[in-house]
Amino acid sequence: MLKDIAGRGGVKGWPEKKNDLAVEEKENRVRALGISGVPTFIFNRRSGISGAYPLEMLVQAIREVGST
């Protein structure tokens, strides 16, 4: 089902078995950063928050990172 949806959205060549190792490496990197949930928002590659937050909290987090 996801393959069909991806195809209708213009994604070509998905899923490909040859990408299994690349996906596993990316998963390991994000886990090493402590990311375990979605959505996760990362700001300036320095800090982030994980989970669903109200817009006001996201704006505040962006402002705090922007002021440092």
- The model's pLDDT over 24-68, given as tens digits with 9 standing for 90+, comes to 888 888 888 778 888 888 887 777 788 888 999 889 888 888 776
Do 26 and 51 belong together in one domain?
A: no
Report whether pLDDT(9) > 80.
yes
Q: How many domains does one find in the chain?
A: 2
Task: Say what the pLDDT of residue 6 is.
Answer: 81
Predicted confidence (pLDDT) at residue 2 exceeds the cutoff of 80: no
pLDDT at 68: 67
Q: Please tell me whether residues 23 and 45 are part of one structural domain.
A: no
Residues 41 and 19 occupy one common structural domain: no
CB 57 within 8 A of CB 44: no
Alpha helical stretches, state H, the chain: 2-8, 20-32, 55-66
pLDDT attached to residue 54: 92
Structural domain boundaries, residue 47: 36-68
Q: Do both 40 and 15 map to the same domain?
A: no
pLDDT for residue 3 is more than 70? yes
